[in-house]
Structure formats: structure tokens, C-alpha cells
Homo-oligomer: A and B are copies of this chain.
């Protein structure tokens, strides 16, 4: 049995709805439906009475709701105890500015109860990150390592799509979504070579047999947003940059024929440190 099933079950039991619980659990409704059937099969009992209005607990479900929570909590406290056996040391994580600004802080904040001090260092290039890993200046790095030669421990954290970022006065801003055909001629603002976003954007242009029409090359991602905001250019950036544009005049359009995703991994020289970082900060938990 998977403890994740138990977590899903408890959420479902509380909301009395697979669809509502599936949102809370950040998964689709069919996936949760399958999970609960697996749990029922594993336990050999029926947990829910399903209807078109939601689900209701059977008597077995009631018991599981009561006792499952206590089992889960003892599992969680065990996990904490185990991680705390690792000697407490200060940790340093290296990554791009976008991650440092809009992802890492939330991950670190979500992990309470750790007695460690975390530093964040930012870089513009792979080789910075790799060199700092090699020289132990950082304990882990966050970036898309698919195209990078290395032998370190690595664990995929998430994938994200790319969007076309335009000023809302830009002609394309009218559209719901765009394709390469719509903007292939137009110069774009890009990040410097050696960062994963640039690499993937170039790959996408190549895939369409296009040469990437570079307007400006800007190292500091935040200023790209300034460029677009001043309607001085457009850019292709991954989803995380959408967190910049709350109440701004920038629109992010899905690109229908941009087939690549950015895959951010946690990379560490020491596998033990990598696993600990992952468990402490990046493993999603209930």
C-alpha cells in the first residue's frame, strides 16, 4: 500500500467528492478515481458509495478515515526523525534568477522544522553551476540538465511549458494562442547562451527550420520583462515567468507548436545530500 493513497483517501473522505479532492491534491479526477480503486483493491474492501452527486463513506471507509490519519502522522514523524539524524549543516543551492525569485523561496518556506540554514546563489550559465558543484561551493543546483554532460546525482522536479510574452498593445496580444507562423520573423529578446531557456528556444526554432531572430540578448531575466512591458520587444519564456506579470501589461500566449518543455532537475554532487535536499524541500507532501 502507498501512503500517498491514504493521503488521497483522507482528502476525498473529507470533501466527499473525487473532483474536489483531485483539485486539492493537484491531480486529475480520473487519476484520483484510479487511485481510490487501487486502495480499495489493496485493502479488499469498498470504501466509498459513488453516486452522481459525490461519494459517501462506507463503514469500512469511516474506520479507515479514523485510523488512517494516525498511521499517516506516525509515518510523517518517523520521516522527520530520520532526516534529523543527518548532521545539520548549512546548505547552498545554485540556480537561475527566475527560480531563485519565484520558486525556491516557496519551496524552502513550505519545509518547516528543519534546522538548517539555506543559501541561494544565482548564475547565468551552466558552467558556473557545474563548476560550483564540482568545487563544493554549492550543494545542489536547479536547472534543466538534459543537454548537459555530467555524472552527478539528479532528480526531476517539474516540467513547464513555454509561452510567448508580449505587451498587451502588441498586435498578437489579441489572440488566444499563437504558432511559430505568427511570429517567426519578429526579433525576440533572449537570455544568453548557456542557460536552459536559451537552449530550448533555439532547439524549437531549429525544429521549425528557422534561425532564431535575436533582437536583444539580456542576461538579467527581470529586465526582459521590463523590455516587454515598455513594448520594446517580445520573448519566449517558460511558465514560471508568468508569476512576474500580476497586474502588469504583459500577456503570455500559449505557443501551439512549441513542443519542448523545460525540465528542472535538482542536481547534486553527493547523492546523499541530493536526496536529503529533495526530501526536505522538493518532495511534495500532504
1-44 of chain A: CB within 8 A of chain B:
1-4, 40-44
Kindly state whether residue A147 has any CB partner on chain B within 8 Å. no
- Residues of A49-108 at the interface with B, using a CB-CB cut-off of 8 Å, are 59-60, 63-64, 67-68, 70-71, 74-75, 78-79, 81-83, 85-86
Segment from A123-131, A215-223, A276-284 that makes contact with B: A276-284
The answer to whether B1 touches A43 (Cβ under 8 A) is no
Minimum CB–CB distance from A71 to chain B (whole Å) comes to 6
Chain A interface residue count, Cβ-Cβ cutoff 8 angstroms: 37
For the complex, is A230 an interface residue (Cβ under 8 Å from B)? no
A44 and B83 contact, CB distance less than 8 A? yes
Chain B positions within 8 Å of A261 at CB level = none
A3-B1, A64-B82 are known contacts. Are A44 and B280 too (CB-CB below 8 A)?
yes
Give how many copies assemble into the complex: 2
List of B residues within 8 angstroms of A42 by Cβ: 279, 283
A45 at the interface (CB under 8 A from B): yes
**B2 and A83 form a contact (CB under 8 A):** no
8 Å CB contact of A67 from B60, B68, B78: B78
**Known contacts A42-B279, A276-B44, A276-B45, A71 near B81 by CB under 8 Å:** no
| The one of B43, B63, B275 that contacts A45, using a Cβ cutoff of 8 Å | B275
Residue A185 is within 8 A (CB to CB) of chain B in the complex: no
Best-surrounded residue of A74, A78, A276, A280 (most CB of chain B within 10 A): A78
